Structure 1
């Protein structure tokens, strides 16, 4: 009862606002009705590997052109949203502007997007930040999402299973090929946490999928360390034109 009173008082003094436009919203809705209508949620049919959406279903095991040309080290990836003009500011604000109150609603969306994955997951692992970047930002948005999803589905959460050894430049500044070169060798498995990893089914959690380079680099490290399978779940993904 006291917790309920406290939350009501906080909502009265600091009303929750839409993560996109800043208008007041009810409870933990995250976005207002107008902004909700502008978001593009993703689902089937899609590439069996990376989850890129297809307009028409080409078959159950179909792969997109990118996955055919550059096979990925992860088994599959699914995304909740399209990363576009309507979701971009909301996600950037979550990453860089302390809008961590959006964790609950983002995790809810991701949970639905990954509904086919939960039965075969043992442990959730967030894509790590380099310690310098973590110190500057104060939190890892991927870890917040992974923790919320692990609690929601009763799964193990391993925030330090992966380490980021290289303080790479931001992927947003780079070309597609540059992104792959940038993260090559950037990650390593934590020696203190590798015991018990053998045969485990890992679900990698990240915020945005652009080329798949980061998830691929993390997956290679996890497979080398003995993971049984590596799947991925992201909040949003960039959709190519054409």
Structure 2
């Protein structure tokens, strides 16, 4: 439908003149027309670099999200295989499923790191919207009750100017049209997971999270029988996701689904 609203047309023209549409990642001009209600899009070069793994990651293990190839999926039903993949077959998780958007490599790595900082909030919002579209496809008949995110320790928040995962979660929730809430907090500072081996990652995050209380009432939110969508930027070994999912489970959550912008895919 054609929009003939003259005020909106004038506003869009002024935005084009003052703030030409730019890619949220590389800040190059995109050549797109301004739209007051449209998400910020990537330039063609960044779009190709970011989405090259999108079709691969769409077909993944139902539990851990590891890509398994198109032949394992019924394309008419868009159903993932019920059995676990070799990556997670012998593991026990507190979460029910992982929904990844892209493979953590190349330009995706740059985007994920940049989105952690408050001055790149437009990038985080765009990534979150893309992730929300993927989640909506996957959970079409099982929409979560709440969307939440993996929190950061306050010193890390100060250094970055905010919590990038919160912006991701808000964008996902907006796309799904469900509430976004901060359900968790960190109890202590942890080392960066990227610096650690697999066993050390588990120990690093153990007991590092707890439910955030409602200070006005002095109690934690009621999670009983809730389906919680936990948003994070990267899934590598699952140590952080599993620890946080365990906290949500202890709080009464019936189901915890993990949604991540990128999943690390190890070759061996």
> Does TM-score exceed 0.5, indicating one fold?
yes
Unaligned runs of 5+ in 1: none
**Contact 1:80 / 1:235 at 8 angstroms: preserved in 2?**
yes
Q: Structure 1 92/8 Cα, relative in aligned 2: closer, same or farther at 3 Å?
A: farther
Which residue of the partner structure matches residue 141 of structure 1?
A: 164
Bigger shift: 201-210 or 16-25? 16-25
Residue in structure 2 matched with residue 31 of structure 1 by the alignment: 42
The residue that corresponds to 2:127 in the other structure is: 106
Q: What are the superposed Cα offsets for residues 144-190 of structure 1, whole Å, 9 maximum, x if unpaired?
A: 1111221222212112x111111111112112222111111110012
The alignment's C-alpha RMSD in Å is: 2.3
Alpha-carbon distance change, 162 to 33 in structure 1, aligned in 2, over 3 angstroms = same
**In the alignment, is the contact (CA less than 8 A) between 1:51 and 1:78 conserved in 2?**
yes
Instruction: Tell me the SS of whatever aligns to 1:91.
Output: helix
Question: How do residues 73-84 of structure 1 correspond to structure 2 at under 5 angstroms?
Answer: 73-84=94-105
Of residues 62, 65, 84 in structure 2, which corresponds to 1:48? 62
Residue 174 of structure 2 is aligned to residue 151 of structure 1: yes
Give 1:85-104 correspondences, 5 Å limit.
85-96=106-117, 98-104=119-125
Relative distance call for 1:102 and 1:195 in structure 2 (3 A) is closer
Cα displacement string for residues 56-80 of structure 1 (whole angstroms, at most 9, x for unaligned residues): 4187212122312322110001011
How many residue pairs match? The answer is: 241
Q: Are positions 1:206 and 2:232 aligned together?
A: yes
Aligned to 2:203: 181
What residue number does 2:76 align with?
A: none
Deviation readout 1:119-166 (Å, 9 max, x if unpaired)? 33100011111122112212211111111221222212112x111111
1:106 Cα deviation after fit:
1.3
- Distance in 2, Cα, partners of 1:8 & 1:168: 47
Give the Cα–Cα distance (whole angstroms) in 1 for the partners of residues 145 and 250 of structure 2.
17
TM-score of the superposed pair, with normalisation by structure 2? 0.81
Give 1:62's aligned residue: 83
Q: Which has the larger radius of gyration?
A: 2
Distance 1:8 1:92 in 2: 33
Q: Does 1:12 align with 2:17?
A: yes
Instruction: Report the secondary structure of 1:80's partner residue.
Output: strand
Give the whole-Å Cα distance in 2 for the aligned partners of 1:12 and 1:51.
Answer: 43
Q: Greater CA deviation, 232-241 or 171-180?
A: 171-180
Question: Separation in 1 of the partners of 2:12 and 2:200?
Answer: 46
CA shift, 1:4, in A, is 6.5
Unaligned 5+ segments in structure 2 are 1-5, 74-79
Match of 1:237 in 2: 263
